Chain A
């Protein structure tokens, strides 16, 4: 499989400088490596604050990485001119209520990417916008309405239409369905799967909803406090998780049909440490049921074990 997106040892550090206080570094991303193939969906899971959204920002150039490099279609990020970059990678945002400008009509929301990045005439743009609206399931007469006239699902369709207007190769989906009703979630997910085939898209699907990730992903990347802890195919990870964090994450997800919800043993004790004061060794060690003295001393590297990559000494 040829890789569309290659991420090589990316770090992102937010320096925190306050007067009269010790300078601190917030390590949002540490040594992130992964690839995304064409037509593939990579699911990124992890609890809040683990760096998922920072990763999305770095990949869309809203933030620049502190170190490491990213290649999109074999071209490094700093070498891109903005127009090419924006037409290769786009993003669908989590909150459809915040990601659409309340003072812009639906038509303009979808048309603006074309107006800014292409020289198409207004007539061509009109045609393309209506075609795209039809494709994502929005009726033509919605074009002149404002975002507050739409339901959450319709807004998210609008957001998807906007992201697809420049025909990107990679679409970053930052929790695209978590703000929607369950009944609407399925519709939007199915729409996303159809669009993936039709436009041969690669998806980077960020979510904390494991059942959604399992449904849509080909491969999974599990993050914990800015690090990749496990990375491999969906079936390997869901059926046979090796990292203790992945195991606990999967066990604690509520399942239909089981009487007991997660018992005390399945839940990691305590809270994730602050990304400002990371432990010396493995970041998960303070909560890990399998930790040994070694875990608190050094950080486990991401190794190829059991048909996947896993960062644990005891896996």
Chain B
């Protein structure tokens, strides 16, 4: 495993996009962890005398609020810093939830085949046939709005990707002779599925996990924008966008900055995901 990570990093270093992605992810991770230390203000503290102040470097800005304030006079920089905590943990939670359920279902479908496989695959078809954000809205509408329910909804929407990838890989691996050998010395089906086969399916799983991270952040932010995700006063980028929407002309920084944050973090995970795909799967590498 150590060697595997070493090789992986060696391949990744050749890919500039992936390295940029990793650097941005690390920076946002550090910001999220040290938020209580580096944030200049309490993100939920309302200052009634400094509403919608522009950033300090533009005319009319205040030195106290580097990136300005929102409609309730809360410091935008602090809110963005705390927002990174929410977005990263949301992404992580979505990936963990969908990865575990998706992998479990995919391994079972691919290994057993037959009726079990058909029912699981039709279920994933059902989820995939609806636009993912629409389906997530339906789930949140049933469960009720809130950040936890939004995470659950977005995870459910992400499961089919994992199921399909793992199933395809397991169907290839289960016909290899090392699986017959394991059967011959009496390994249980559980052991064959999760100890013999699954470690050989890791490459596409890692790629999908890093891409799932950005999808998760984006979808939860979208639910937040629609008022179905994080609720006020929690500082979440999607919710901040929707709060700022009415001031898009008079105070454009309020809507621009959280949007930029989402863009940069999602982009960095996508860059990392593409880099990992190139590094792990030589067949997909570009020919040039």
Contact = CB atoms under 8 A, between A and B. Distances in A.
B199 A162 contact: no
A120 interface: no
A90 interface: yes
A62 B185 contact: no
Contacts of A112: 182, 185, 187
A64 to B, nearest CB: 13
B184 interface: yes
A90 B185 contact: yes
Interface string A143-176: 0000000000000000100100110000000000
Interface in A76-95: 82-83, 85-86, 90-91, 93-95
A109 to B, nearest CB: 9
A70 to B, nearest CB: 15
B5 interface: no
A98 B176 contact: yes
18 contacts: A62-B180, A90-B184, A91-B184, A93-B177, A93-B180, A93-B181, A98-B176, A98-B177, A99-B180, A99-B181, A101-B178, A101-B199, A102-B178, A113-B185, A116-B185, A116-B191, A165-B185, A166-B185
A144 to B, nearest CB: 11
Contacts of B177: 93-95, 98-99
A183 B199 CA distance: 34
Nearest to A99: B177
A103 interface: yes
Contacts of B278: none
Contacts of B176: 98-99
Q: How large is the interface on A (under 10, 10 to 19, 20 to 34, 35 or more residues)?
A: 20 to 34
A162 B181 contact: yes
A102 B200 contact: yes
B71 interface: no
B237 to A, nearest CB: 39
A60 interface: yes
Contacts of B184: 60, 62, 86, 90-91
A197 interface: no
Contacts of A100: 178, 181
Interface residues of B, number: 15
Contacts of B180: 62, 91, 93, 99
A161 B199 CA distance: 23
A117 B199 contact: no
Interface of B: 176-178, 180-187, 191, 196, 199-200
Contact of B186 (A62, A94, A99, A117): A117
Contacts of B196: 101, 104
A86 B188 CA distance: 13
Interface string A100-134: 11111000000011001100000000000000000
A83 B185 CA distance: 8
B11 to A, nearest CB: 16
Contacts of B199: 101, 103
Given A93-B180, A102-B178, A103-B199, 6 more contacts: A82-B186, A98-B178, A99-B180, A100-B178, A116-B191, A117-B186
Contacts of B181: 91, 93, 99-100, 159, 162
B217 to A, nearest CB: 31
A162 B200 contact: no
Contacts of A60: 184
B147 to A, nearest CB: 37
A166 B185 CA distance: 8
A95 B177 CA distance: 8
A62 B178 contact: no
A117 B185 contact: yes
Nearest to B188: A116
A85 B183 CA distance: 12
Contacts of A95: 177
Given A101-B200, A102-B200, A103-B200, A86 B178 contact: no
